[in-house]
Amino acid sequence: MIIQCRQCRTKFRFDDALMQGSGVWLRCSRCGHVYFQENILVKPETNMPPKPDKPIEESKPAKKITEASMESTRVVYRDAEGLHPLDKTIEAKKYLDEEISLDVRKDQKEDINEEEVEQKDVLSSKSSGKSWKVAIGSVFVILIISALIFFIFPQSGEQIIKNVFVYMGISELAHPEIPVTHMVRLQDVRHRVINNYILGPIGVVEGNAVNRAEYPVSRILIKGDILDAYSVVLGEHTSYAGNILTDEELTKLSEEEILLKLSRPEGFNNSNDKIMPNEQIPFMIVFFNEPAGVIKAVVMTVGAERLLSE
């Protein structure tokens, strides 16, 4: 299998028979970095998907049934009173009809009140939904503007973001979302060609890395790309800041010697171990066998570590 160092990105050929269990600890022979290499030959166990919960059957609302029953009253005919059984039956029916009509009117009134309450709830939910959308949109716009200001003016932008979160009820961010690599600015970048006695013409990209954070950083790693007129990448290399070669070394050293000197994470004389806020450190990236048609070089910070303040 082919493995790659996590620090200097050097690739090596590794014997599959030496791989054990879930992985082994390795030491890079180039930069000395120790890292854990996972065993890609072991197939991950397939986890059976959890059984779905038993669906809850919704209970059907009971229907409200109103029944009006009228029992026929058996009236005994009495000649002395002069009343007919049909008269009593008509009076009882009128009384029941009046009660039923009152109940119907009461139910209709309750239905109308319920509809009015539902309409009020719908209107209030719509108004509250619109207010929430406006509030969320305003906060989103403020955060975007603050982020843009942050990248242009880091200190002012950070203060604005803190004020926004204080306004939202969050006093302070526990873990800032801005990566450490974004706090390192690259400036004074230049590209030149030097004739090496062994390798011929080699491209050299150099510049300075500035720590714009409010805390010290270390092990700054820079990546450089050389492009043609159509922005096609013709080559790329990475190098740790603090490793600078003289013109004499660039003309005499071999490719392996140059790469070894540029791949020291701590930098020359440990210059890349601790870069204080607003301090800068030089960097250099070398391209071997640089093809024709190189128009420009692009560099970016791809690695940095935050140090705790003393």
How does pLDDT run across 222-264, given as a tens digit for each residue? 999 989 888 899 889 999 999 999 999 999 999 999 999 999 9
Q: How far apart are CA 287 and CA 111, in angstroms?
A: 83
pLDDT of residue 66: 41
Which three-class secondary structure string do you get for the chain? Answer: CEEECCCCCCEEECCHHHCCCCEEEEECCCCCCEEEEECCCCCCCCCCCCCCCCCCCCCCCCCCCCCCCCCCCCCCCECCCCECHHHHHHHHHHHHHHHHHHHHHHHHHHHHHHHHHHHHHHHHHHHHHHHHHHHHHHHHHHHHHHHHHHHHCHHHHHHHHHHHHHHCCCCCCCCCCCCHHHHEEEEEEEEEEEEECCCEEEEEEEEEEEECCCCCEEEEEEEEEEECCCCCEEEEEEEECCCCCCHHHHHHCCHHHHHHHHCCCCCHHHCCCCECCCCEEEEEEEECCCCCCCCEEEEEEEEEEECCCC
Lowest mean pLDDT among 130-139, 187-196, 233-242: 130-139
pLDDT digits (tens, 9 = 90+) for 38-89: 887 776 554 444 444 444 343 344 444 344 334 434 444 444 445 455 455 5
**In whole angstroms, what is the distance from residue 155 CA to residue 249 CA?**
40
Position 238 scores a pLDDT of: 94
Kindly tell me if the per-residue pLDDT of 190 is higher than 60.
yes
Mean pLDDT of all residues in 88-99:
58
Q: How far apart are CA 77 and CA 268, in angstroms?
A: 127
Of 264 and 112, more confident: 264
Q: What is the pLDDT of residues 8-29, one digit of tens each?
A: 888 888 888 888 778 888 888 8
**Mean model confidence pLDDT for the chain:** 75
Under 8 Å between Cβ of 199 and 254: yes
Q: Which residue has the higher pLDDT, 234 or 148?
A: 234
What's this model's pTM, rounded to 2 decimal places?
Answer: 0.45
Indicate the domain borders of the chain.
2-38, 84-178, 180-306
Question: 122 pLDDT band (50/70/90 cuts)?
Answer: low
Percent of the chain with pLDDT over 90: 33
In CATH, 180-306 is 2.60.40: yes
